[in-house]
Structure 1
Amino acid sequence: MKMTWWLEPEKRYEAQEGHSDAYREGYLAVIDKCVEYCHIVLDGDMYSLRLKTLQDHVNYLTALIDWDTRWIEVGYSKQVEKLVEAEDFIHASSLKLKRDRLKASMIFRQGTTTLVVVGECPFFSTKLVIDCFLVEVKNMAELALTMRVRLIADQRESETLSRLCDKYTSCCNDVSDWIGEHHTLSQRKINEAVYHPLRDRYGLLAQMTQSAIRRVIASYKTIHSRMEHRSDGKNKRKRTTYYSTRPKYSSAGVDLLWNRDYSYSPMTGMFSLPVMNGRIKVKAQWKGIPDEYRDARFGTARLVSKRGGWYLHIPITLQVPDPTSSPKTIVGVDLGIRMLATSYDGETTLFQRGGEVKSKRGKYKRLRQQLQKRGTRSARRRLKTIGDRENRWMTDVNHQASKALVNHYGRDTMLVLEDLTGIRNATERVKVKDRYVQVSWSFYQFRQMVEYKAKRKGQTVLFVDPAYTSQTCPKCGKIRKANRDKKRHLYICRNCGYRSNDDRIAAMNLRHKGYDLLTSQYAASMTDSVRVQSTTL
């Protein structure tokens, strides 16, 4: 974003009849000071410009000139003398109260926008353009993430949080039992029946009690939704059947509302959390909120205990650049066991090897089988420890692989991935020794990581049917299963003679599918546009 002066300071004043030269000289002197200040604040690149800078700028001009200064957003016009005022403008006096409105206006207006500071002069009847600069504004999209924050709690604070979690968990179980007996998910009816008894019994704050009720209602609705979409096709169920499966909570965690139940102080680096008899302040194990999260919207957090530590899982919503509908680069991405991800962008191929994943998964599988044969209490504890360790390791592998994939390509890139829905039911096509590795690799987790990381980079992700992507020749289009040699991981077309790595072939075909789908969508939009134009003539 670049700042451009519209008019020179001398041209910002037009002499009018009935006013002396002294007014004109004093007027221009004030404008020179404003221009000098504006150059200091706004000169050069505008990437550092934030709403607070704009607000300080307006407040400074208002105090300096003592006029009714306001921001007016106008549409850009090649004729700079012509101002087209927007319907909406924000007075400097109420700028702080309407900060979100101004921010949204700046974010969601696409194209080049002219922001103008207009001053009402007390001794002139005309408006004065104090400052004007061009700001390129692009459409923004919302991205939801979950930020995991470790809390540094001493023994006393940890015991206090444990008592809170125990009370909250018991409250959730009582609500679950009541819903299971009375067969209703109406929050009004539940509140009338259990709200005051729960508060008297457990001593929770009003907001926490409401959060527990909403938490259990959401759990029941999730169970009902799963029953409605059973794979056996039996969708019609009796009303009482829905409540036969009651959710039970062993460690529910505590749901906390932002700026009501919990808050964060950047000055002290501490979170303020509610407990049974007041509030406590707990230090967070981080160096403060990252810069990219400072303008994010914080949602309802969950306080959880894991492996002796306390964590806050905070959902945040970021504003990220909205990717273009016409990507510059289309990349096909094939997922597998030997190669975690193979990507092809039309010129180069990127391989991410997965041999370590296969061997380590096999090691965990053998160890798990040995412990299962023992069947002792210590073996079961060991099984849980191994399972947690394996999940953490696999999550880290997915993070590294998805980050490497997204960072390798720039903005305005479309990643075309396989739609691997139902991968767990496709084991009949995989060797018996490889089935555990395939179904245990969290493809869905990898997909989610690629989606949100690509969105932050201004990229799009498209999922297509992977059928025949490993059997189709990307050059001649012939489909033949015998062309692929799985043992040597080689593809040789019997029709045209083209040969390459079989994973690379799949990535090339995925890229072709993405390109064909994008082309068909563009053709459909053009057809609709022509149809609309013809009907308006």
Structure 2
Amino acid sequence: MELIKTVKIQIKLAAEADGDLLRQAMEQYRLACDDVSRYVFDHGFVLNTTKLQIVLYRDLRTQFGMKAQMAQSVLRTVTARYKAVRTQSKQKPYRYRDENGKWQKQAKDLTWLWYPISFRRPQLDLVRRRDWAIRKDGSFSLNTLDRRITVWPVLNHWRDYFDGTWKLGTAKVLTSGGKWYLHISVTREVPDYTQDQTVHVVGVDRGLRFLATAFDETGRTIYRSGTRALNKRRRYKHLRAKLQAKGTKSAKRVLKRIRQRENRWMSNENHRAAKALADHYGPNTLFVLEDLTDVRFATEKVAKDRRYEQVSWPFYQLEQFLIYKAAAQGSHVLKVPSDYTSQRCPQCGVIKKQQRDHDHHEYRCACGFQANDDQSAAMNIQQLGNQWLAGTAKPRYTRKRTG
């Protein structure tokens, strides 16, 4: 399989004028992306870069001053964004009740978009060897609309990715907090995971109270607390509410400044949680996670002041981080259906919704089994992983019909 990572490198510029050149190129690149996005939206969502190039290439060169490879990068950036939105839309179908009161779902596609995708944050994508290169002295050569400039990395943590074992891709130029960064995509082929190499089977339950609850084949449970993240997100929510109610220009400036701060903080928490799991269990580990695609969280049963956390918690992001961190060290992530994993007794197999006490975070079964409700869910998920290793292609739990 192909392992894809992004190497983040802070860079320093040789002169202030170089920063002006980068800002100009980034803004023109952003405007060009917006222009292409409007065309895609108005013309039936054509996502074939060859067809778009025939129509838009000349305008990108003349109207926005894009160089040849930059113009191609604009087309790839826009089509990739639309394809990502299309994939996300398929994963979240529209749900509604029919005339009989039954829940139905309808697949969503790009035609559900009301407006073209907009590119608000300036960026600049540079093609390897054409628009960016690394020199023998360790500096980077970057192309702008006017001329090439030389920048220097601040740290050397990235050098391991430039030893020839990784394939280097597009470099994205970004600026934040007065600092400049290069985000370079790197890829490497790693061996496919096989069932017979499994040493550990770990069931991972994700939630609000605990970011991750992991149960392994030895019977040990590891909890990754989510209290710190929960409190942080609630503070940001209340801060946004106060600033929005204030409505002044200064309040809007603060809102703009903190817009991505919460997301970056939460991404770091998910990175740390995924890394902790991968490092603790090591290579040849089968991590088993619930497939939460199309899972609807019943917010009407949640207190109004807590619904934001319920619907916006980044479970998918933690999953993606764990997938590539596990693959990097020879482990694997298996996704299994989430049906009844929180309602089933991992000891006797009985499925009863009433046996889970949400208020006290406990699971009690008539057979005598008692455990934390997140722990019992992780145990059920781990057992599905064992079934997969035993030869069941698509393990899942089903409720037995009576009568």
TM-score normalised to the size of structure 2? 0.83
- The equivalent of 2:398 in structure 1 is none
Matches within 5 A, 1:134-153: 141-153=1-13
Matches within 5 A, 1:462-501: 462-494=334-366, 496-501=367-372
Q: 1:398 to 1:194 in 2, by over 3 A?
A: closer
- The equivalent of 1:161 in structure 2 is 22
2:159 counterpart of 1:279: no
Aligned to 1:262, which of 132, 138, 142? 132
Q: 1:367 to 1:405 in 2, by over 3 A?
A: same
Q: Is the 8 A contact 2:271 2:321 kept in 1?
A: yes
1:111-144 deviations in Å (ceiling 9; x for gaps): xxxxxxxxxxxxxxxxxxxxxxxxxxxxxx3201
Question: For 1:283 and 1:429, how far apart are their aligned partners in 2?
Answer: 54
The offset of 1:459, in angstroms, is: 0.9
Q: Which amino acid aligns with 1:307?
A: G
Q: CA RMSD in A?
A: 3.1
Q: 1:247 to 1:161 in 2, by over 3 A?
A: same
Matches within 5 A, 1:109-508: 141-153=1-13, 154-177=15-38, 187-188=49-50, 190-219=52-81, 231=94, 245-265=115-135, 267-287=136-156, 289-291=158-160, 294=163, 295-326=165-196, 327-347=198-218, 348-423=220-295, 425-494=297-366, 496-508=367-379
Q: Is the 8 A contact 2:30 2:122 kept in 1?
A: yes
The offset of 1:188, in angstroms, is: 5.0
Q: Is the 8 A contact 2:3 2:188 kept in 1?
A: yes
Question: For 2:307 and 2:42, how far apart are their aligned partners in 1?
Answer: 43
Q: Please, which moves more after superposition, 204-213 or 172-181?
A: 172-181
Number of matched pairs: 380
Question: For 1:224 and 1:319, how far apart are their aligned partners in 2?
Answer: 27
Q: Is the 8 A contact 1:321 1:456 kept in 2?
A: no
Question: For 1:225 and 1:507, how far apart are their aligned partners in 2?
Answer: 28
Question: For 1:426 and 1:484, how far apart are their aligned partners in 2?
Answer: 16
Q: Is the 8 A contact 1:164 1:275 kept in 2?
A: yes
Q: Which amino acid aligns with 1:497?
A: G
1:416-474 deviations in Å (ceiling 9; x for gaps): 11222245643245444433223232111111111111111211111112222222211
1:54-80 deviations in Å (ceiling 9; x for gaps): xxxxxxxxxxxxxxxxxxxxxxxxxxx
Q: Is the 8 A contact 2:297 2:310 kept in 1?
A: no
SS of structure 2 residue aligned to 1:332? strand
Question: For 1:242 and 1:506, how far apart are their aligned partners in 2?
Answer: 36
Q: Is the 8 A contact 1:406 1:454 kept in 2?
A: yes
SS of structure 2 residue aligned to 1:491? strand
Q: Is the 8 A contact 2:94 2:108 kept in 1?
A: no
Q: 1:480 to 1:255 in 2, by over 3 A?
A: same
Q: Is the 8 A contact 1:423 1:439 kept in 2?
A: no
Question: For 2:350 and 2:107, how far apart are their aligned partners in 1?
Answer: 41
Q: 1:415 to 1:431 in 2, by over 3 A?
A: farther
In structure 1, stretches of 5+ residues that fail to align are 1-140, 525-537
Q: Please, which moves more after superposition, 507-516 or 245-254?
A: 245-254
SS of structure 1 residue aligned to 2:308? helix
Q: Which amino acid aligns with 1:150?
A: Q
1:214-235 deviations in Å (ceiling 9; x for gaps): 4344455566677788626677
Q: Is the 8 A contact 2:124 2:174 kept in 1?
A: yes
SS of structure 1 residue aligned to 2:293? coil
Q: Which amino acid aligns with 2:57?
A: Y
1:140-166 deviations in Å (ceiling 9; x for gaps): x32011122222124211101111122
SS of structure 1 residue aligned to 2:175? strand
Higher relative contact order (CA 8 A, sep 6+): 2
Matches within 5 A, 1:61-140: none
Question: For 1:487 and 1:177, how far apart are their aligned partners in 2?
Answer: 49
SS of structure 1 residue aligned to 2:10? strand
When Rg is computed on C-alpha atoms for both structures, the one with the higher figure is 1
The offset of 1:505, in angstroms, is: 0.9
Q: Which amino acid aligns with 2:298?
A: A
- The equivalent of 1:533 in structure 2 is none
Q: Please, which moves more after superposition, 288-297 or 346-355?
A: 288-297
Q: Which amino acid aligns with 1:166?
A: E
Q: 1:425 to 1:377 in 2, by over 3 A?
A: farther
Q: Is the 8 A contact 1:343 1:350 kept in 2?
A: yes
Q: 1:493 to 1:360 in 2, by over 3 A?
A: same
Q: Is the 8 A contact 1:179 1:243 kept in 2?
A: no
Q: Which amino acid aligns with 2:273?
A: A
Structure 1 vs Structure 2: percent identity of aligned residues?
A: 40
Question: For 1:422 and 1:357, how far apart are their aligned partners in 2?
Answer: 24
- The equivalent of 2:390 in structure 1 is 519
- The equivalent of 1:133 in structure 2 is none
Q: Is the 8 A contact 1:220 1:246 kept in 2?
A: no
Question: For 2:29 and 2:207, how far apart are their aligned partners in 1?
Answer: 43
SS of structure 1 residue aligned to 2:243? helix
Q: Is the 8 A contact 1:344 1:504 kept in 2?
A: yes
SS of structure 1 residue aligned to 2:259? helix
Q: Is the 8 A contact 1:224 1:242 kept in 2?
A: no
Q: 1:260 to 1:373 in 2, by over 3 A?
A: same
